[in-house]
Amino acid sequence: MVALCHFLPGPASSQFVFATGMKQRGLLGALAASLCFTLPSAIAMILFAIGLAKFGDTRTAGWLHGLKLAAVAVVAQAVWNLGRKLCPDFARGIIAAAAAAVVLFFPRTGIQIAAIAIGALAGWSLYRGTIPVSQNPPTPKRKNHGWAGFTLIAFFLLLIVLPLAAKPMQSTWLSAFDSFYRSGALVFGGGHVVLPLLRAEVVPRGWISDAAFLAGYGAAQAVPDPLFTFAAYLGATIFPDSPWLGGLWCLLGIFLPAWMLIGGALPFWHSLREKAWAQAALRGANAAVVGVLLAALYNPVGIQGVRRPSDAVAAAIAFVLLQFCRVPPWLVVALAAAAGQWILR
């Protein structure tokens, strides 16, 4: 199940929790496990959004500037670790660099998705002949294949129907759900990679400013996992008159595709995981994900967070504390907030 959750788009930890609950107690067990795993962090992020709307000023508050510096350090750490893990050879390094260049020159959501798809194609072309084929593949059980197939069809139908319905209806609620659903459905590589996808959806539309976006992302490092509960903060900010409903609405939008994918794919996994072509394509897709995240480290995270030499020093110290000193993320966030207050005093 862990292997499958890393193979599919979406938050691997949340998908694993959903799959575990489903194996133990069916669909109700999966939903109960997912809610218990997600709500503590989601509630904290919605409360942060409400407090920021009432008491924060994203333009001048030093501690908010510090949260942006924390975001720089966190994303840099993600690029460092994912790069070492997912780009261990020259070819995958080239795929990552090419994806980063494309995304930087053409900063659109569709381009990010295309870069990952092209990376998967490149991985399939380069590595399909290098992966050994299992000589004794397991015989999959056909239990629940019909139900799982219907779930996967519904997943793809929503990807098509939601944008078609949102545009003529001109409903912010439906458009937001569509944006978060697509972001959750098309993100590979873990929680940090959702940053550029979500920003491309919510910032250009004027739903939220870059400063508020990065402040929330920095705060998300100080709460328990999963990182995808950052969507609750965004929803509460997009819908300030109904922050709780907006936060939960966007939270559902970003987690629903992950739940549908794991629920639909689990019965087929034993046969798919033995396919050399699937493993080869995943190598290329993951390398492209590193490139997408590298591009996000420069824009918007670096551009918005680092404005002066003291910012660069503070972000570098935060990175060292996270990566090499193993300081807990919540403590690094608190220290970065204090540093931001001192820098802008």
- Render each residue's pLDDT in the chain as its tens digit; 345 residues: 776 777 788 888 899 999 999 989 888 999 999 999 999 999 999 999 999 888 766 555 788 888 889 989 988 998 999 999 999 999 999 999 999 999 999 877 678 878 988 999 999 999 988 877 655 555 545 566 788 889 999 999 999 999 999 888 889 999 999 999 999 988 766 667 788 889 889 999 999 998 889 889 888 888 877 889 999 999 999 999 999 999 999 999 999 999 999 988 888 876 776 788 888 988 998 899 899 889 989 988 898 889 899 999 999 999 999 999 999 988 998 999 899 888 877
Q: What is the pLDDT of residue 142?
A: 55
The gap from C-alpha 267 to its chain's centroid, in whole angstroms, comes to: 25
* Chain CA centroid to CA 202, Å: 14
* pLDDT for the residue 155: 94
How far apart, in whole angstroms, are the C-alpha atoms of residue 12 and residue 18? Answer: 10
Alpha carbon distance 326, 121 (integer Å): 36
Please report the pLDDT score of residue 224 as a whole number: 79
d(CA 232, CA 150) in angstroms, rounded, equals 28
pLDDT per residue over 104-145, tens digit each? 998 776 788 789 889 999 999 999 888 776 555 555 455 667
Amino acid at position 327, single letter: V
pLDDT on residue 236: 96
Task: Output the pLDDT for position 26.
Answer: 87
What gap in Å lies between CA 328 and CA 75, rounded to an integer?
15
Sorted by where each begins, the domain ranges of the chain are 2-131+145-343
Q: What is the pLDDT of residues 251-270, one digit of tens each?
A: 999 999 999 999 888 888 76
Q: What is the DSSP string of 12-51?
A: HHHHHHHHHHHHHHHHHHHHHHHHHHHHHHHHHHHHHHHH
- Overall pTM surpassing 0.75 (yes/no): yes
DSSP label of 59: T
CA 285 – CA 116 distance, rounded (Å): 5
